Amino acid sequence: MSTPSKATVSKTPETKTYFGFGKSDFIYLAGLGIIIFLIAIIRSNFLHVPFERDEGSYAYCGKIILNGAVPFKDIGSQRLPGVFYSYALMVAIFGYTLESLHFGFIFINILSTILLFLIARKMLNNIAALGVALFWAFLSMNKSISGFTIQSEHIVALFAVAGIYALVRYIENNKWWTLALSGFFFALTFEVKQTSFFYGLAGGIIVVAHHFFSKERDYKLILKAVIIYSLAIIIPVAIDLMVVKMRGGWEDFNYWFFDIRKEYATSTTFDQGMQYLDMSWPAIYKDYKFIWLLSCIGPITLLLFTKVKNWIKWSVIGFYLAGALSVAPGYHFYGHYFLQWVPAACIGAGAFLYSLYIILKDRFNMKSTALYVTFGLVLVYALMHLSTMKRYYFTKNGPNLTREVYGLNPFPESKVIADKLNTIMKPEDKLAVFGTEIQMYFYTNKISPSRFAGSGALLEFNVKKSEEWQQEFIKDVEKAEPKYLVFYSHAISWLANPNVKNLIFPWFDKFSNEKYNLLGYADMLDTGTEYVWAPNIDLVNRPPRSQYKIFIFERKPEVAQTLPSAPSGSAVAVPPVQ
């Protein structure tokens, strides 16, 4: 089972078999197979977990992209279009259901696992690679960083590790196409989430440093590498934006990507950000202390106690810092932001395993047992962790998990309401959702009557087009005459900015009272959500008791508008929205 250090010892002659793996590597490949099987088993328990609003938004936008929607023109977003194209591809391959997209992201996670194994094997050794794959499998499932979701950071992680792997291959073989491929993957990383810019920056610095500190320093070669790498990043982004401009989305791109992004980026002060971090980090760290601690120690031990090549040390440290920095912009520190850091953190933890192996083998002369000790450490941790987390990993998870992680956000309720609507809506019926819960359109397979599917965002940012966009949304809804309305009387679903003039709420009170009956509501109590549907609605004697409510309306029949009074359960009795 012994294996030489790939980073410090020359390879002994060995007959290679498939894809560069020799017979002595097969046991590690078997271990990787077990890890992949474990990922599939655990993540299959997340197939029925309801989406939160970001997941629903990405899935919905992926669908309408396939139908011809233009980013920024038809989809308001601070993100570059890469995120929507990524989800469009996922929808096209796996389908447009809750379970199918969760299933698709199992494959995303497994691909990341394989690439991380290959990266660590190239830079370190087999046992470190096995540890990195295992650490990623566990840490990327951390529920406090939305590991069970289909958040876009999972795609960021995949593109980032693909970029790192291509970069490692370039340093190994000096083939320009692998450098260009690395830049391309980092461009995709940036396209999906712009804070991942630091991964591409770290990659560029490592390329320059590798050539600059080589024995045969060649400035022309350095310049050529910089040009190829930079163009590989710039060209995909430039083409993407050129397509947006050609399809008429440029003006809206400028508003969303610059004006609204500026509002979002400056909405949280540094002190507030530190408070958020203080609240979120303990949960992120709690059940995964071992991995996080090793990820901090690993780059240091690799630097001080091993003789790996300098580019490996720079890579482990550089990408670790890049991952950490990708979480910081804007000081929001939402749990799922940390998913961007996880791949680099796992490589850092793998560096500790490699350092431990080298120290035991070389400094303590434990040549025959160093590998077994290192492997034993990984195995014992894996068994202890699985035992500790068995309730989360090995039970079917659903709405309760969403409630546990996201508190009183209306995510489980959205699925319940959508399931009810799906039993009564006809294919031709239209739906309008008020709030940022775009997942409602996803669950019901309906298209928003307005390009502002997440209408809650219209009240969040104090930009000069806010009132114009609100008026556009109102006109779109009035023109569409949707059969059903879902209104989230929920502060988190709106995040209304007191500096933004609110045109939607006063209009909605009048619009819903004149044209709609109250079909039902969800009363989100601390003890559980109560769902009340017509004809059992009695707002006089049994009104909703929670501050968080969701109202569902059905358009009045034309004949009802001529009656002297509204039917029982009418929207007339609904109090003004808050």
pLDDT at residue number 16: 54
Distances from the Cα of 548 to the Cα of 195, 481, 498, 574, angstroms: 33, 26, 19, 14
> How many other C-beta atoms are found inside a 10 Å radius of the C-beta of residue 137?
22
3-state DSSP of 357-373? HHHHHHHCCCCCCHHHH
Show pLDDT as tens, one digit a residue, over the chain (578 residues). Answer: 444 444 443 344 445 567 678 888 899 999 999 999 999 999 999 999 999 999 999 999 999 999 999 888 888 788 889 999 999 999 999 999 999 999 999 999 999 999 999 999 999 999 999 999 999 999 999 999 999 999 999 999 999 999 999 999 999 999 999 999 999 999 999 999 999 999 999 999 999 999 999 888 899 999 999 999 999 999 999 999 999 899 888 888 888 888 777 777 777 888 998 998 999 999 999 999 999 999 999 999 999 999 999 999 999 999 999 999 999 988 888 889 999 999 999 999 999 999 999 999 999 999 889 999 999 999 999 999 999 999 999 998 888 999 999 999 999 999 999 999 999 999 999 999 999 999 999 999 999 999 999 888 888 878 788 899 999 999 999 999 999 999 999 999 998 888 899 999 999 999 999 999 999 999 999 889 999 999 999 999 999 999 999 999 999 987 344 433 333 333 334 445 55
What one-character-per-residue DSSP string does 12-28 give?
PP----BTTB-GGGHHH
Alpha carbon distance 125, 403 (integer Å): 41
pLDDT at residue number 493: 92
Q: What residues contact 322, with CB distance under 8 A and at least 6 apart? A: 198, 199, 201, 202, 344
Helix locations, 124-151, DSSP H: 126-139
Side-chain-facing half-sphere of 461: CA atoms under 13 Å: 25
- Contact yes or no for 231/280 (Cβ under 8 A): no
What single letter denotes the amino acid at residue 565?
S
Q: What residues contact 131, with CB distance under 8 A and at least 6 apart? A: 120, 349, 350, 353, 374, 378
Strand partners, 489: 549
What strands, in cross-sheet order, belong to the sheet with 549-555?
A: 431-434, 484-489, 549-555, 516-525, 528-533
Residue 457: name the closest of 263, 327, 191, 266 by CA.
263
Strands 431-434 and 516-525: unpaired
How would you label 320-338 residue by residue, b for 16+ Cβ within 10 Å and e otherwise?
Answer: bbbbbbbbeebbbbebbbb
Q: What residues contact 10, with CB distance under 8 A and at least 6 apart? A: none
CA 256 to chain centroid, in Å, comes to 20
pLDDT at residue number 248: 87
Helix (H, G, I), strand (E, B) or coil at 564: coil
